[in-house]
Amino acid sequence: MTRGPGAGAGRSPAAHAGDTTRSRAGDKPGTRAGDKPGSRESDNPGIQAGDKPGSPESDKPGARAGDKPGSRESDKPGARAGDKPGSRSGGKPGSRGGAARSPRAGQRAPARGGRGRGSGGAARRRVGPARLVAFEVVRAVRERDAYANLLLPALLHEQGLTGRDAALATELSYGTLRGQGTYDAVIAACSARGLGQIDPPVLDVLRLGAHQLLATRVGAHAAVATSVDLAREVAGPGPAGFVNAVLRRVASRDLESWIAATAPDRAADPVGHLALRYSHPAWIVAAFAASLGEDAATGLGRTEAVLAASAGRPRVTLCAVPGLASQEELVAAGAGPARWSPFGAYLEVGDPAAVGAVGQGRAAVQDEASQLAALALTRVDVGAPDRRWLDLCAGPGGKARLLSGLAAGGGARLLAADVRLHRARLVRAAVTGEAGVVVADGTAPAWRPASFDRVIADVPCSGLGALRRRPEARWRKSPADVARLAGLQRRLLATALDAARTGGAVAYVTCSPHLDETRGVVGDVLRGRGDVTVLDAPAVLAEVPGLRCPGPDGRYAQFWPDRHGTDAIFLALLQRHPGG
């Protein structure tokens, strides 16, 4: 079991619950309509649900490491699994694929080859493969903006890591990335050098070591010794003494003591205090507080609960495709029934792909809030006819899969659109029955206005509601990302409303609680129209408690990880009516 800012409940994030069982490069905020960023897709199930980091034999100092990630052909400069589209193909100076870097002051030059190959084979043998894989993930995220949820499963497969070794690599990778803000503050307090003066690969090693010392059950001696060995392996013998000294200081206190020593005073700066305690950028803490209707005077109690939940790991939730599978079948396969979704089931242990219905494409991994947002649209009374449904931004197909099954069962047909061909192909593979799939720009539709009875606009967003799934995302996002998507979100909602007939229903959905992506978008679009009614979304999902947004926005629904155990998905239900 783990603890600390990057820890969850001790369960390795096998396949993180999301819209589909796949995650892909390319799901990042862009400027093209219909292209959702880093959306709720599940993380690749490299580890089975329920695996816990332990102390595999290879993690003991002196144990043979086996093959190390540094021996791969894929470590040569070039695109790799997990790289963000458009990232640099070559390594940066100091990386294995880049030019050699001069040693910093006080550091000896690394051995020839830049990876400690001249320091003797003993150090290389003492580094376990799980730690080498974790270092590769952390380094790639920093150097190439790689997606951890894509790169880690590829490395685990490549290195043949399973069971406890794979669970340890997963815990070290995701836990270090989640807790980076807290660990950096601790490392800065333990080092005479500023963080900017520490060689980046050495800083990666220190972050991994700090996570082991402060948030796992790995013993202090093993955590320090293996980190020193790892530093020799990836940066040469020079930094080993520095790493040893810093981590020994880190080991002198527990996490709570370090937070007390390094975080701003909670009374004087509650946002800054929570940002360091729960390892989130301060602007995200402030955004969560604003969405919850809290400020410093309220004590930010709910905000803290959301941050704590966001620092954990998501539950693996399955979704049966209506007409092809059922909740009962998933339960019979070993899952537990979901609390609210009639199609959902929670998988506590095991590989989702090993569930028969998932392996056969009759069920998939999908967050429960994502399921409920789609279900809510189908509950709105639109009268007759009710035959044509539209998913305006369908890629990669999670909600489209569920809606296509529901549509087919009620005599309707879903049309799913996405602006990118490769995402449209993923949607085509996901949907069932007579559903149609087109490549189309949601802001310049290929259909006539007022053609659909039900429309869902699951728009591109910052993804702040799914930070549990992409541990590095919190450090990549900025307020500029939210601002950059504002125009696109408004255009897509306007198009969705135009696509609905009089009496038709529209669901506006984001995986972000940020006001500028949720209530702000809906309010801005509706101010220019006189033909739309805001429906009571929490009443439509009456079985789910605590969905109402605060204040005058109570007709909107907001899911929260602390309250619902789901992603922080926002839902507005709108209905067209005759008007000017």
Delineate the domains of the chain, giving CATH numbers in brackets: 57-101+108-255 (1.10.940.10), 263-310 (no CATH), 316-365 (3.30.70), 368-576 (3.40.50.150)
Mean per-residue pLDDT, 357-369: 96
Tell me how far CA of residue 489 lies from CA of 123, 140, 364, 456, in angstroms.
52, 31, 27, 13
User: What pLDDT score does 21 carry?
Assistant: 36
Q: Is residue 465 predicted with pLDDT exceeding 70?
A: yes
User: What pLDDT score does 5 carry?
Assistant: 72
Closest alpha carbon to 212 in 288, 292, 131:
131
Cβ 49 vs Cβ 14: under 8 Å: yes
User: What pLDDT score does 527 carry?
Assistant: 95
Q: Is residue 559 predicted with pLDDT exceeding 60?
A: yes
Half-sphere exposure of 320 (CA within 13 A, CB side): 24
Q: Which of 34-43, 142-151, 211-220, 564-573 has the lowest mean pLDDT?
A: 34-43
> Would you call 190 a catalytic residue per the annotation?
no
Q: Is residue 115 predicted with pLDDT exceeding 80?
A: no
Cβ 496 vs Cβ 455: under 8 Å: yes
In sign, the C-alpha dihedral spanning 498, 500, 504, 506 is negative
* Alpha-carbon span 297 to 87, nearest angstrom: 43
Instruction: Give the global pTM.
Output: 0.81
Q: Is residue 549 predicted with pLDDT exceeding 60?
A: yes
Q: Report the run of H or E that residue 374 belongs to, with start and end.
A: helix 368-379
* Alpha-carbon span 214 to 249, nearest angstrom: 12
**What is the Cα Rg of the chain in Å?**
24
- pLDDT tens digits along 243-269: 999 999 999 999 999 999 999 999 999
Please give the structure tokens belonging to residue 235.
Answer: 């940066």
By DSSP bridging, strand 570-576 and strand 336-337 are unpaired
- pLDDT tens digits along 71-108: 333 333 344 455 554 444 333 333 333 333 333 433 43
State the DSSP string of 307-333: HHHHTS---EEEEEPTTT--HHHHHHT
Dihedral of the CA atoms 560, 563, 565, 568 (nearest 10)? Answer: 0
Inter-axis angle of helices 180-190 and 240-250, nearest 10: 110
Confidence of residue 370 (pLDDT cuts 50, 70, 90): very high
Confidence of residue 3 (pLDDT cuts 50, 70, 90): low
Catalytic pick among 319, 393, 511, 549:
511
* Alpha-carbon span 494 to 39, nearest angstrom: 21
By DSSP bridging, strand 344-347 and strand 388-391 are unpaired
Closest alpha carbon to 508 in 516, 450, 33, 497:
497
84 Cα distance to chain centroid: 14
Cβ 19 vs Cβ 370: under 8 Å: yes
User: What pLDDT score does 268 carry?
Assistant: 93
What pairs with residue 345 in β-bridges? 318, 337
